């Protein structure tokens, strides 16, 4: 049992209350699962036998940040923070909606369509310098993994995700950590420790747009350029595990129980751990490699999970972004809760929710498309990494695991 909380709080739906999607029809899930399974084994048996995408130069010479985007980033951040701290203390707060919907979910399509624009927009990069010390590289992505877990805990498992006070505290801690880390370690801090920056950077690697629109790139080649560092698997496990937990937490099974806050947090952590541990085990399950090589395999294959994350996030959050996003924009236009309606009254369109078959087909398509890209990426990398005698058998565990992830995702979409 938890304490009574503020008006407008939503126990169920991601900190911002409101309706969620209908379950997809069983036949859609079955068709999606059949495609995923068939394509997976077709890739293993029939696809190319020499790596094709491994020759992408690993280190992009990073282009300079574009000043006009830095200005846009500062203005948007100032606007959002004004709404969060100066606006109403209930669920109508525009800053709260902007964080949960536009920042957290909007980040993914932005990175996919426009590349790592986040790096240019980031106000924390703009406000901090080149750093006083060198970032301790052995930390790798672990600070970002911790930050991402802190965010998904706030959104999905904290006592009251819709409580504006809690979000204000979370954002304040985040801003202090980003400014302090940026002053101390410079841009490297944001490449490795800013949860949103790292998330955007990962997704942007599978964008056809590279180097700020100055180049186009095959997403499969882009994926292989994700810098491998400690904690990379943890980052991806938190992203995938938390999205699955979000579905699971809305199931009648889970809602029928008395769940304490600690149990909810433990369940969320459990989902992330299961996703991560299974991935590490599957990546290592090959013959013909030495101990050191085996330990390196999960990191070297981690990029292949990113398309599964992106496909599932799109399927899970599409209506949330498109429909609740409209409310968030209207709320941002009235940051102080004074009743301002510069674009007329808020009247969101529910086109997607009203066309249930189209929506279900889109969701299955996203999941299966993500799965196919992931399987191809893993296959190509395995060809480059594994000794010749183990090229097929060494991929098998990873292929099976990806099918399990995708089946689980489809099952959650159809059953909850």
Residues in touch with other proteins (CB under 8 A) = 1-2, 4-5, 7-13, 17-23, 33, 37, 41, 44-45, 244, 248, 250-258, 274, 319, 327, 348, 350, 353-354, 356, 392-393, 396, 399-400, 403-404, 407-408, 411-412, 415-416
Per the structure block, which two tokens stand in for 131?
């750093």
Query: How far is Cα 188 from Cα 240, in angstroms, rounded to an integer?
Result: 25
The DSSP code sequence of 251-287 is SHHHHTS---HHHHHHHHHHHHHHHHHHHHHHHH--S
Nearer to other proteins, 13 or 229 (CB): 13
Q: Which of helix, strand or coil describes residue 394?
A: helix
Q: How far is the CB of 97 from other proteins (least distance, A)?
A: 13
Query: How far is Cα 53 from Cα 373, in angstroms, rounded to an integer?
Result: 12
Nearer to other proteins, 250 or 384 (CB): 250
Q: How far is the CB of 50 from other proteins (least distance, A)?
A: 16
Q: How far is the CB of 86 from other proteins (least distance, A)?
A: 23
Nearest to 100 by CA among 182, 178, 196, 181: 196
Nearest to 24 by CA among 16, 12, 33, 15: 33
Query: CA 116, 108, 119 angle in degrees (round to 5)?
Result: 25
Nearer to other proteins, 21 or 197 (CB): 21
Nearer to other proteins, 12 or 114 (CB): 12
**Taking the CB of residue 73, how many other CB atoms lie within 10 A of it?**
21
Q: How far is the CB of 336 from other proteins (least distance, A)?
A: 21
Q: How far is the CB of 20 from other proteins (least distance, A)?
A: 5
Beta bridge partners of 215: 210
Q: How far is the CB of 416 from other proteins (least distance, A)?
A: 7
Nearer to other proteins, 56 or 261 (CB): 261
The DSSP code sequence of 181-241 is HHHHHTHHHHHHT-HHHHHHHHHHTTSSEETTTTEE--HHHHHTTSPP-TTHHHHHHHHHH
Nearer to other proteins, 171 or 359 (CB): 359
Nearer to other proteins, 2 or 216 (CB): 2
Q: How far is the CB of 291 from other proteins (least distance, A)?
A: 25
């Amino acid at each position: 049992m938890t304490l009574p909380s503020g008006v407008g709080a939503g126990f169920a739906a991601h900190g911002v209350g409101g309706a969620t999607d209908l379950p997809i029809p069983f036949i859609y899930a079955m068709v999606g699962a059949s495609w995923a399974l068939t394509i997976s084994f077709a890739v293993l048996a029939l696809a190319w036998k020499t790596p094709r995408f491994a020759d992408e130069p690993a280190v992009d010479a990073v282009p300079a940040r574009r000043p006009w985007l830095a200005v846009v980033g500062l203005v948007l951040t100032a606007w959002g923070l004004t709404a969060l701290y100066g606006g109403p203390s209930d669920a109508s707060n525009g800053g709260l909606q902007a964080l949960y919907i536009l920042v957290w979910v909007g980040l993914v399509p932005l990175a996919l369509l426009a590349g790592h624009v986040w790096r240019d927009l980031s106000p924390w990069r703009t406000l901090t310098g080149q750093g006083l010390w060198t970032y301790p590289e052995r930390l790798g992505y672990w600070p970002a993994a911790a930050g991402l877990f802190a965010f998904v805990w706030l959104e999905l498992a904290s006592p009251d995700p819709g409580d504006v006070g809690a979000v204000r505290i979370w954002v304040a801690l985040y801003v202090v950590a980003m400014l302090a880390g940026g002053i101390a370690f410079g841009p490297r801090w944001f490449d490795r420790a800013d949860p949103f920056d790292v998330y955007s950077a990962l997704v942007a690697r599978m964008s056809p747009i590279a180097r700020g629109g100055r180049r186009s790139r095959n997403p499969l080649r882009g994926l292989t350029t994700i810098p491998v560092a400690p904690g990379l698997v943890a980052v991806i496990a938190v992203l995938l595990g938390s999205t699955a937990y979000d579905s699971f937490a809305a199931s009648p099974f889970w809602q029928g129980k008395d769940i304490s806050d600690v149990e909810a947090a433990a369940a969320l952590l459990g989902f992330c751990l299961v996703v991560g541990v299974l991935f590490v085990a599957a990546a290592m399950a090959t013959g013909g490699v030495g101990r050191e090589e085996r330990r390196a395999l999960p990191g070297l294959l981690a990029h292949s999970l990113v398309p599964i994350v992106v496909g599932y996030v799109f399927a899970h959050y599409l209506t949330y972004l498109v429909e609740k996003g409209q409310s968030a924009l209207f709320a941002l236009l009235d940051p102080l809760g004074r009743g301002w309606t510069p674009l007329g009254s808020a009247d969101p369109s529910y086109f997607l929710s009203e066309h249930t078959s189209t929506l279900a087909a889109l969701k299955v398509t996203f999941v299966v498309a993500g799965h196919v890209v992931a399987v191809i990426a893993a296959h190509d990398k395995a060809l480059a990494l594994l000794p010749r005698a183990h090229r097929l058998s060494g991929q098998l565990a990873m292929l099976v695991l990806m099918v399990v992830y995708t089946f689980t995702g489809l099952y959650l979409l159809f059953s909850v």
